[in-house]
Amino acid sequence: MIYRESGQFVTTYGADRRIFKLWQQRWALYTLLGFAFAVVPFIGNDYWFSAILIPFLVLSLAGLGLNLLTGYAGQISLGSAAFMAVGAFAAYNFQLRIEGMPLLLSFVLGGFTAAMVGVVFGLPSLRIKGFYLLVSTLAAQFFVTWVLTQFGWFSNYNSSGVITAPPLVIAGYDFSSPAGRYLLTLGVVTVLAFLTRNIVRSELGRHWMAVRDMDTAAAVIGIPILKTKLLAFAISSFLLGIAGALWAFTYLGTVEPHGFDLSRSFQILFIIIIGGMGSILGNFLGAAFIVLLPILLSNLSANFLAGVVDPGQLENLQKIIFGALIIFFLIKEPSGLARLWQLLRERARIWPQRF
Amino acid sequence: MAAIPLLELQDISLSFKGVKAINDISFTVGQGEICALIGPNGAGKSSLLNVINGVYQPDQGVIGFNGKSYRKMQSHQAAVHGIARTFQNIALFKGMSVLDNVLTGRNLKVKSSWIEQAFNIGRAPSDESTQRQKAEEIIDFLRINQWRNSIVGTLPYGLQKRVELARALAAEPRLLLLDEPMAGMNSEEKAEMSSFILDTQREFGTTVVLIEHDIGVVMDLSDHVVVLDYGKKVGDGTPDEVRKNPDVIAAYLGTKH
Amino acid sequence: MDFFLEVLTGGLLAGLMYSLVAIGFVLIYKASGVFNFAQGSMVLFAALTFVSLLERGVPFWVSFAITLLAMIVLAWAIERIVLRPLVNRPPITLFMATLGLSYIIEGLAQALWGAQVHGLDLGISDEPLEVGGMLLSQFDLFAAATAGALVLVLSLLFNKTRIGISLRAVADDQLAALAVGIKLQRIWMVVWAVAGFVGLVAGLLWGARLGVQFSLSLVVLKALPVLIIGGFTSIGGAIAGGLIIGASEKLAEVYLGPMIGGGIENWFPYVLALLFLLVRPAGIFGERAIERV
């Protein structure tokens, strides 16, 4: 028994709605957040911030966005990166063209722009279902990158379509150091993750899952299908748009439209498959996995397999491993790492007994 | 039979790719009545339910509900007017818990907007508690408390049928359409389900239209029986009247099942 | 007008290539309901294996036979390792599994044979030939003939042989097919192997034209709109869809390009497919099922 739950009773419906019904779990979460906000900025080094923590956080947010659409609302999409691109380029232009635009507001506006584009490409979802919807999201993927490359206005006539992050200043505080960029990203992702958690556990979240599980029945009990689907596209694209803006501003600093190509969309899809569809935590686990695996592989091969594995082969190896993992998870654990974590937690509650 | 009519079907016809599934059917269901639709397989019973709540649109005919006439229904519109139903092959949201399924059944009663829910402000907190309370009442009523948090897809068939009824009842419907609520059940389960249907009618005054093959159950349960055969109505009346109707005997009751 | 016709025929012939990839897609979709995203990487794998063998001095037909054997082994492995454990899972899961599969096959192909571009010469000259006052590439005509022959062989296979009849039974109703004693797994393996063969033919033709390189696997992205327009279950539809996409994207590039900017070939097929979907959700030749509840 690693921790115990005796004596803790739920007495109100409000308390019963909590994700973490035990104080030990809540306490663990608050400790983790406190550690991430107050301790990590002081003990982390630049490599950790720039190469691991920031991309991890941004990809978690992107996974969250796609998970709403695919994991909760059941609408498969291969166009996630397009909505990230819209968010990034919109936020950049709001910063560029409006004097004194606050940084956080430009993120939000970037998100709204992505949401609008998401709704446009989500409109066909009323008439077409399943695989057919791939066409709409792939159209978004190719069309958006084409527009952003074709029309110079979006990148302020930069010759190669590259946009550069504005100064990262909020209310007089400069966030441009690696630790500052990490804190900014962490703050944005934490707030959005909490809001998303509220949404998926509310009425709208239930509507999404109802449409996912059985859309005919959902219509019969009075759920407005079109509105539900479009809201899924809008909120999903909103989160992806903000993830895109963070990707450009706090992670890379400069980005071009092709930084948001189809392989990025695949990457985000893989995050939710590995992490767990229909789970909030899963996005974080999946993103951590996808950021850490390549680093782990290259370290392993540098240390133990030096000379055995050609560095050029590493990328192929990585592809094979990712592909194999996707299939493995789909076969063995369709609910992903999040489910494994849940099993582990249940085991901890009753340990050392097995049942 | 003398009750005020709630549902009036007039000359409903429906065909699929030229094949007539329903041919010119009219009948009336009174307020608070339990009406059974019987007939051999393929007689058009399920199609008729689908027409009533807007899954299919009829080629011709008028659907009268609660004093108003509709040329056709849309599913959403039917739900708003207070028509709920269950399906022949259970159509629950399999990935959601029993509680969430029942709560989803109450979707039209939710007052707060999704933005209020996201920030947990305004009407959202009290709304959520109200819906939860009502949902719990239904869960109590159908005695499925102990499976409240189970994922529906993992429950046995008989329980799923009950959860589906719970989801339909959660909407506080005026008219409840049940498509073979007792299919595949043993006699004990059938008795239990029958008592739930009777309780529903008595406690909430809900009007029920149900499709059922077990003639014994039908005769015990219903106030009114409509018999269909090959898309046509061949009998309509009280259970006793229908039992004696020679056309019905020829079409349906006479054959052994 | 001549210019228009030349663009049109050029587009139609390019479209035939899309059709070839789409046919492999249709076969698998019909028999197993799997939306096989890995079809493109199968084309890459086949072409890369073939050309690498050829470069190592293996004779043409031997290379062809070895590659075909490799595709059959691949089909067997896919059926065993991926499809069998995923029986009865939702189509969306199977689709995502083929995404993973495409990563594995691409990684494998490049790990085995390297990532450089290989030239491939099938010994057919690309000299233009004058037909009815128009200049047509000999190679394109050869490709068209091959596609035609392939369709003929496939339709014979499916309409006249025992395995073909079983396949159509499986496509119609898997459970019923099982009930009458058809071995589902064997059918799947055969179909994936045939799709591998079609992929090999497509890979050779494409490779000869554009060089054998990674971008071959991206052909699958063009095959998708082709399928949408032609319907997922009809080989004739795949051909027609390919021709429509090929011709219209070339025409759009030539006539619309100057107005709104170049490179619209990338997204034009998708927008076209989307318009088609809104008008005819099951494609030109597909059948729309009645939803039963």
Could you give the 3-state DSSP secondary structure of residue B179?
A: strand
Q: Are residues B134 and B183 in the same domain?
A: no
Composition of chain C by helix, strand, coil, percent to 5: 75, 5, 20
Taking the CA atoms of chain C, what radius of gyration do you get in angstroms?
A: 19
- Does residue B150 fall inside a structural domain? yes
Mean pLDDT, rounded, for A97-111 = 93
> Would you call B88 and C293 a contact, using CB atoms and an 8 Å cutoff?
yes
> Would you call A326 and C224 a contact, using CB atoms and an 8 Å cutoff?
no
More confident residue, A153 or A66: A66
Mean pLDDT, rounded, for C86-93 = 83
DSSP character string of B93-158: -TTSBHHHHHHHHTGGG--S-HHHHHHT-TTHHHHHHHHHHHHHHHHHHTT-GGGTTSBGGGS-HH
Q: How far apart are CA A127 and CA A310, in angstroms?
A: 49
CA atoms within 13 A of residue A87's CA, in its CB half-sphere: 36
Say which amino acid occupies B95: G
> Would you call A206 and B96 a contact, using CB atoms and an 8 Å cutoff?
yes
More confident residue, C275 or A284: A284
- Does residue B248 fall inside a structural domain? yes
Collect all residues with Cβ–Cβ distance below 8 Å to A207 and sequence separation of at least 6.
Answer: A218, A223, A228, B104, B107
pLDDT, residue C128, reads 72
Q: Are residues B41 and B94 in the same domain?
A: no
- Mutate one of A135, A268, A273 to test the C interface: name it (highest C CB count within 10 A): A135
- Whether omega before A102 lies within 30 degrees of 0, making that bond cis, reads no
- Does residue B203 fall inside a structural domain? no
**pLDDT surpassing 70 at residue A199:** yes
Q: Are residues B117 and B130 in the same domain?
A: yes
Q: How many CB contacts within 8 angstroms connect chain B with chain C? A: 9
CATH 2.60.40 fits C2-279, yes or no: no
Summarize pLDDT for B16-53 with one digit per residue, the tens: 877 888 989 999 999 999 999 998 888 889 999 999 98
Q: Are residues B152 and B168 in the same domain?
A: yes
Furthest CA-CA distance within chain C: 61
Banded pLDDT at A7 (limits 50, 70, 90): low
Mean pLDDT, rounded, for B166-171 = 95
B84 min Cα distance to partner chain A (Å): 6
Q: Are residues B63 and B182 in the same domain?
A: yes
**pLDDT surpassing 60 at residue B74:** yes
Summarize pLDDT for C263-280 with one digit per residue, the tens: 788 888 898 888 887 777
Banded pLDDT at C286 (limits 50, 70, 90): low
CATH number of the CATH domain containing A38 = 1.10.3470
Q: Are residues B48 and B76 in the same domain?
A: yes
Give all strands (DSSP E) within A69-179, no chain letters. Answer: 163-164, 169-170, 173-174
> Would you call C293 and B89 a contact, using CB atoms and an 8 Å cutoff?
yes
> Would you call B91 and C290 a contact, using CB atoms and an 8 Å cutoff?
no
pLDDT, residue B256, reads 47
**Last residue of a domain, which of B143, B172, B201?**
B172
- Does residue B225 fall inside a structural domain? yes
List residues of chain B with CB under 8 Å from any CB of chain A. Answer: 53-55, 75-76, 78-80, 84-85, 87, 91-96, 100, 103-105, 107-108, 110, 112, 114, 117-120, 124-125, 128-129, 131-133, 167-168, 171
Helix (H) or strand (E) holding C130: strand C128-131
- Residues in chain C with CB shorter than 8 Å from the CB of B88 are 293
ipTM: 0.89
Q: How far apart are CA C88 and CA C102, in angstroms?
A: 21
Encode B22-50: b = buried (16+ Cβ within 10 Å), e = exposed. Answer: bbebebbbbebbbbbbbbeeebbbbbbbb
**Number of neighbouring beta carbons within 10 Å of residue B80:** 12
Summarize pLDDT for B224-250 with one digit per residue, the tens: 999 998 888 888 999 988 888 887 777
What domain range is A140 assigned to?
18-350
B70 min Cα distance to partner chain C (Å): 22
pLDDT, residue B1, reads 45
A156 Rama class: left (phi>0) / alpha (psi -120 to 50) / beta: left
Q: How far apart are CA C220 and CA B187, in angstroms?
A: 55
More confident residue, C174 or B165: B165
Sign, CA dihedral A267-A273-A278-A282, equals: negative
- The number of folded domains in chain B is 2
Q: Are residues B62 and B75 in the same domain?
A: yes
Q: How far apart are CA A121 and CA A147, in angstroms?
A: 15
Selection from C37, C219, C225 nearest residue A326 by Cα: C37
- Does residue B162 fall inside a structural domain? yes
Percentage of chain A beyond pLDDT 70 is 94
Banded pLDDT at B3 (limits 50, 70, 90): low
- Residues in chain C with CB shorter than 8 Å from the CB of B46 are 293
Summarize pLDDT for B243-257 with one digit per residue, the tens: 888 877 777 655 544
Selection from A300, A246, A309 nearest residue A87 by Cα: A246
Summarize pLDDT for C125-167 with one digit per residue, the tens: 667 777 666 667 777 778 888 888 888 888 888 778 888 888 8
CATH number of the CATH domain containing B73 = 3.40.50.300
Q: Are residues B77 and B133 in the same domain?
A: no
Q: What is the reported pTM?
A: 0.90
- Does residue A38 fall inside a structural domain? yes
- Does residue B2 fall inside a structural domain? yes
Q: Are residues B133 and B184 in the same domain?
A: no
Mean pLDDT, rounded, for B79-105 = 93
- Record the tokens describing residue A209, joined without a space: 């899952």
Query: Which of A124, A262, A330 has the CB atom closest to C274's CB atom?
Result: A124
Label residue A296 exposed, middle or buried (CB < 10 Å: 0-12, 13-18, 19+): exposed
Summarize pLDDT for C163-175 with one digit per residue, the tens: 888 887 887 777 7
- Does residue B202 fall inside a structural domain? no
pLDDT, residue C103, reads 93
> Would you call A319 and C103 a contact, using CB atoms and an 8 Å cutoff?
yes
Q: How far apart are CA A319 and CA C214, in angstroms?
A: 14
What domain range is B64 assigned to?
1-82+176-188+209-257
Average pLDDT value for chain A? 89
Percentage of chain B beyond pLDDT 70 is 96
More confident residue, C126 or A342: A342
Mean pLDDT, rounded, for C54-77 = 92
More confident residue, A346 or A247: A247
Banded pLDDT at A5 (limits 50, 70, 90): low
**pLDDT surpassing 90 at residue A183:** yes
Q: How far apart are CA B41 and CA B248, in angstroms?
A: 15
- Out of A2-11, A218-227, C237-246, least confident range: A2-11
- Does residue B195 fall inside a structural domain? no
- The number of folded domains in chain A is 1
pLDDT, residue C290, reads 53
What's the full length of chain B, in residues?
A: 257
Query: Which of B16, B17, B50 has the CB atom closest to C293's CB atom?
Result: B50
Mean pLDDT, rounded, for C9-37 = 84
